Amino acid sequence: MEDLIIVSVDDHIVEPGDMWDGHLSVQHKHLAPKMLRDPDGSDYWVFEGRRAAQGGLNAVVGRPKEEYGMEPVALDQMRKGVYNIDARIEDMNVNGILTSLNFPSIVTFDGGLFLSFENKETARILVSAYNDWHIDEWCGSYPGRNIPNAILPYWDIPATVAEIERVAKKGCHSITFSDNPTAKGQPSIHDAHWAPMWKACADNEVVINIHIGSGAQAPHASPLTPIEAWITTMPISIVNSAADWLHLQALHQYPLKISLSEGGIGWIPYFLERAEYTHNHHKAWTHANFGGKTPTEIFREHFLTCFIEDKFGLDNLGAVGEDIVAYECDYPHSDTQWPRVPEHLYDTVKHLSDAQIDKVTHLNALKFYNYDAFDKMGGRENCTVKALRAQAGHVNTDEVALAGAAPVEKGAEPRPVTSGDILAMFASVNAKSNEKVEA
């Protein structure tokens, strides 16, 4: 276990209030979004003169599991590593995580918040400022520890291409993008509209990360449905988008790389089996085109998948594809196993060969993102769980109870929390979103 090297391809940042400082020019400083606090102690952001929902929902790492349903609404209700890079590195060390790829929170997983801006030039300026903060501060402060992951002004294709080229020159070769842009009022991925973006990603060797919930949403069956039903299906909700992207014709033109973020792996063998059957059985009338290859070949050439805990998928690694599987920690969300990822991960992979363990814990991820963490860290010996934890003896991992409003009132007869309970709680947190705020 201590010899494991662990790379996580899906974690999250809750953005700190000072993130824009130093990344906007003098003439643009007045455009900086602001974090303010309500009288009830809740933090909120103001973008373009309007309130935005608090970005730390589900940032519950370090709290007792009994409190997971009580969403934090202020930075000081969260573990410091959620929003502070120095503390994040300490939390990565104690968790044995060498390198992490992080998604945004307040601007949404794909940066889609900026799609709603009235002034799109302001939005473009803020996208670039966000990327500079993320690349230069969050990732640049500790070389080798975080893979840069940029957002895009994807309502404007020339600006999107320019931003891809700009961040690539800064050493960022990864972007986050909607898994289904039509859900955001944008053209389908099959529309020629996106052709310049596909070419820019290929020319600059940029990975396209599509995170669950970045476009298509996992549906709640009903307000009375126990919330565990929704949590159970949430990762595999990415299957519809996976099928959509598998049929992207640009995959036959360019060596595009698509990462299915937070989607799990256990569903993939049947997904590929079904894709093969569908193509062979229906291609005479559907005229689907895989460029002379099979759906499985296309999937394994272009896609990366990831798991938190997926024993079934790992037991069937041959059917999934051992070269396309990576690990994800999902810090600071409620599925994370922090600070005992090495213990859980080793128990999950120990039946695999040493070569397979290396692939799914770090080699596949570092290769897919073309990221040389070993060189940046001064050698492989500095990258193991043992080496990282040796730097973390001072890190306090005790759970901190904060309490707060629960989704279900405590009573003599506890009942299952439902989708309706959680949706109502989120609606209460988000009720003031988009309200105009006086300067």
pLDDT digits (tens, 9 = 90+) for 172-207: 999 999 999 999 999 999 999 999 999 999 999 999
- Termini Cα distance of the chain: 53
Report the distance separating Cα 47 and Cα 19, nearest Å. Answer: 14
Q: Concatenated DSSP letters for 134-161?
A: IIIIIITTSTTSEE--B---TTSHHHHH
Report the distance separating Cα 135 and Cα 130, nearest Å. Answer: 9
Q: Is a pLDDT exceeding 80 seen at residue 403? A: no
pLDDT band at 434 (very low <50, low <70, confident <90, very high): confident
**CA-based nearest residue to 425, from 21, 32, 160, 68:** 68
Domain ranges of the chain: 6-430
pLDDT digits (tens, 9 = 90+) for 129-145: 999 999 999 999 999 99
Say which CATH class 6-430 falls into.
Answer: alpha beta
pLDDT digits (tens, 9 = 90+) for 249-299: 999 999 999 999 999 999 999 999 999 999 999 999 999 999 999 999 999
